[in-house]
Amino acid sequence: MSQINYRTINVDALDPESSANFPMESLLPATLPQAASASDAASAAAQVRQMLRGGDPEGALRTVLDTAPLGGDDRAKEVHLATVIDVLQGIRQGEMTRILEGVCSGDGGAERADCLMKYLYKGMSSAAPGSGTQTPKKPVSPQDTGFSQIQARNLGEGGGGQQMSVLLSWHERLVEIAGTGSIVRVMTDRRTV
Amino acid sequence: MAAHQVHHLFHAPIADHSFSSDKKTLAVARENNVELYQQSGNKFALSDELKGHEKTVTSVDIAPNSGRIVTCSQDRNAYVWEQTPTGWKPTLVLLRINRAATFVRWSPSEQKFAVGSGARVIAVCYFEEENDWWISKHLKKPIRSTITTLAWHPNSVLLAAGSTDSHARVFSSFIKGIDTRPEPSAWGERLPFNTICGEYLNDTAGWIQGVAFSPSGSALAFTGHDSSVTVVYPSAPEQPPRAMLNIATRLLPLNSLIWNGETEIIAAGHDCEPFRFCGDENGWQLAGSLENKAGEVRGAREESALNMFRQMDLKGQAQADTKLKSTHQNTVHTIRAHEEANGVVSSFSTSGVDGRVVIWNV
């Protein structure tokens, strides 16, 4: 009889009725697109950067939001996040409102607005580039809710400050167009970017 | 639009409210009790209290014809209250649940009622004459989380439920001997108890806070924590729906909704005011708020410099803006049709966290 420390047993994991075992994949809609790989994201990035250089920032933003790898793996999502942030940083302050209005109108405009909001929050939550190695995030909540609570905040110091201020001014303008509903949907939507 | 009636009952949240069919009696769930208000003039005055629950009452419903009141609470119990010459007499209903009861509604036939709960079941309760006892039968599969809201189909057999697992479902609650066999419809043909006639998840997957069948029962609308309203038109049994339309709004989340005819939905929630949605199978959109705020006149107080400096001295601001412009001063929890004929609502009532019950003319 070996010593079993019953206090350390995670009883929630053994209880099929426990809410800790809630199947999170049941919240993904059936319309989720095929999983994209990192190389797909990279080729989309090349196409978007081409458009950005060619002087079509609105088309670039539209394309980058339409090709978001909602069903992709973490690597693809990271590559795509970098592309989105590049596009956002490549658009001048004065043009933001005009471009946003273009991107968020028409067919699928509301989805693009929600998608952009997801990227803004993801961009703000991820550590600033150049502030050392990106530590792998440890989920602290029992379920992986997608929102890590303990994490080095980007406090706007050093290299990250620039990116943060760009994201914040995009956020301000996007809320003007898409409203608070868009922020709420970032929290509920399980199709993470 | 005619003025709406505001009844500020008390300074506590109202979990749920219900009017009797003559609109003279109003039941509101306040903390552990249900308070009954009687209309006198154009005011509602407290007339009776239904005491019996040991924890917060979560929901209350008055049956329009029989006048019986059903209540449910976080103490896991439901009571059916019947009026006797000596006052309201409660009958305990054994729900057989081990979590809070969250929501209760009478079926349109008033033979049954359904209780949603945190125990991932819906208890469908009916009266058994020979035992003089309310029996509950559980709808269990495939609910994965707390039931937050319920709505009955006009045929009293189909039941829609919204849950914190982000799915809105349509179940059959057919009970032999109580229900007459329903006509086959797009929801299903043969409907034994616990048939799942539909299971819907929208793309943004928020907790469902409100569900409602259209007056004909041939469409279902639900709203949730993702600030959107989704309308489902079923096609045929076991088939994907003919149309499933999602209206993503720019508002804060909506908590409760009702249909007004087949082409209009009225919903209210965290924005403290009711909104109107219009549309049909080809598309729905937000038509706007039902609150008329344009004619708002700010306090008749003279805006003198003296007054401004006095306000700044007293409160540190020139103008006190602690009051919302909407009629409700906090989240709206429940919206119910007040007067309706053939599915067309001419007035509806709302209640919420601010202790107000408001009757709106459409």
C-alpha pair distances (Å), B172 with each of B43, B137, B181, B200, B280: 41, 12, 11, 15, 25
B306: part of which helix (H) or strand (E)? helix B305-315
Chain B residues within 8 A of A179 when measuring between CB atoms? 249-251
Give residue B228's identity as a one-letter amino acid code. S
Q: Are B241 and B234 in contact (CB under 8 A)?
A: yes
User: Which residue is closest to A31 within chain B, CA to CA?
Assistant: B203
B215 pLDDT tier (thresholds 50, 70, 90): very high
**Residue of B227, B230, B285 best to disrupt the A interface, most CBs of A under 10 A:** B227
pLDDT at residue A138 tops 60? no
**CA B216/CA B214 separation, integer angstroms:** 5
Query: Chain A: residue nearest B203 by CA?
Result: A29
- Whether the pLDDT of residue B176 is over 70: the answer is yes
CA distance B328 to B269: 10
Give the model's pLDDT for residue A129: 54
Q: Distance (Å, rounded) from C-alpha A181 to C-alpha B183?
A: 40
B119 touches chain A (CB under 8 A): no
CB pairs under 8 A between A and B: 67
On whether residue A108 sits in a domain, the answer given is yes
Q: What is the pLDDT of residue B141?
A: 85
A49 or A106, higher pLDDT: A49
This complex has an ipTM of 0.84
- Residue A27 to residue B201, Cβ atoms within 8 A: yes
CA of B250 vs chain A CAs: smallest distance (Å): 4
Query: A191, B166: Cβ pair inside 8 Å?
Result: no
Better-predicted residue by pLDDT, A149 or A70:
A70
Q: What is the pLDDT of residue A74?
A: 87
Is residue B226 scored above 60 in pLDDT?
yes
Closest-CA distance of chain B to residue A157, Å: 33
Is it the case that residue A94 has pLDDT exceeding 80? yes
Domain of A100 in residue numbering reads as 34-125+155-193
CB-closest option in B165, B202, B225 to A184: B225
Give, in order, the Cα–Cα distances in Å from A143 to each of A24, A27, B178, B204. 8, 13, 43, 19
Mean pLDDT for B139-162 is 94
Q: What residues form DSSP beta bridges with B159?
A: B152, B171
Structurally, chain A folds into a number of domains equal to: 1
For residue B51, is pLDDT > 80?
Answer: yes
Per-residue confidence band for A156, with pLDDT thresholds at 50, 70 and 90? very low
The enclosing domain of A118 has a CATH number of: 1.25.40.190
pLDDT digits (tens, 9 = 90+) for B91-148: 999 999 999 999 999 999 999 999 999 999 999 999 999 999 999 999 998 999 999 9
Contact check, Cβ <8 Å, A189/B145: no
Q: Which of B34, B26, B89, B25 is nearest to B56 (CA)?
A: B34
pLDDT value for B319:
66
Tens of pLDDT, residue by residue over B263-291, are 999 999 999 999 999 999 999 999 999 98
Helix (H) or strand (E) holding B314: helix B305-315
Residue B288 CB-density burial (10 A; 0-12 exposed, 13-18 middle, 19+ buried):
exposed
Q: Is the pLDDT of residue A132 over 50?
A: no
- So what's the pLDDT on residue B224? 93
To the nearest whole angstrom, how far is the Cα of B354 from the nearest Cα of chain A? 22
Using an 8 Å Cβ cutoff, are B231 and A163 in contact?
no
Q: What is the pLDDT of residue B242?
A: 92
A135 pLDDT higher than 50:
no
> What is the rounded average pLDDT of the residues A47-60?
90
Q: What share of chain B has pLDDT > 70, as a percent?
A: 95
**pLDDT tens by residue, A1-14:** 567 888 888 888 88
How sure is the predictor about B80, in pLDDT bands with cuts at 50, 70 and 90? very high
Let me know if residue A76 belongs to a domain: yes
* A141, part of any domain: no
Q: Do A180 and B203 touch (CB under 8 A)?
A: no
Q: Does domain B5-291+306-361 have CATH number 3.30.70.270?
A: no
Where do runs of H (alpha helix) occur along chain A? 11-14, 38-53, 57-66, 74-89, 96-103, 109-125, 160-188
Output Rg (C-alpha) for chain B, integer angstroms.
21
pLDDT band at B60 (very low <50, low <70, confident <90, very high): very high
* A81 in a structural domain: yes
Enumerate the domain spans of chain B: 5-291+306-361
8 Å CB contact of B250 and A182:
yes
Q: Please, which residues 157-216 of chain B have a Cβ atom closer than 8 Å to chain A? A: 165-167, 201-207
Which range has the top average pLDDT, A32-36, B100-104, B236-240, B295-299?
Answer: B100-104
3-state secondary structure of B341: strand
Q: How confident is the model at residue B70 (pLDDT cuts 50, 70, 90)?
A: very high
pLDDT in tens, B179-200: 999 989 999 988 999 999 999 9
Q: Kindly determine whether residue A27 and residue B228, on different chains, have CB atoms separated by under 8 Å.
A: no
Lowest mean pLDDT among B1-10, B41-50, B59-68: B1-10
CB contact (8 A) between residue A189 and residue B227: no
Subunit contact A184:B226, Cβ cutoff 8 A: yes
Query: Is residue B18 pLDDT above 90, yes or no?
Result: yes
Across the interface, which of A19, A31, A188 has its CB nearest the CB of B226? A188
Whole-number Å distance between alpha carbons of A39 and B127: 63
Question: Helix A57-66 vs helix A74-89: angle between axes, to the nearest 10 degrees?
Answer: 160
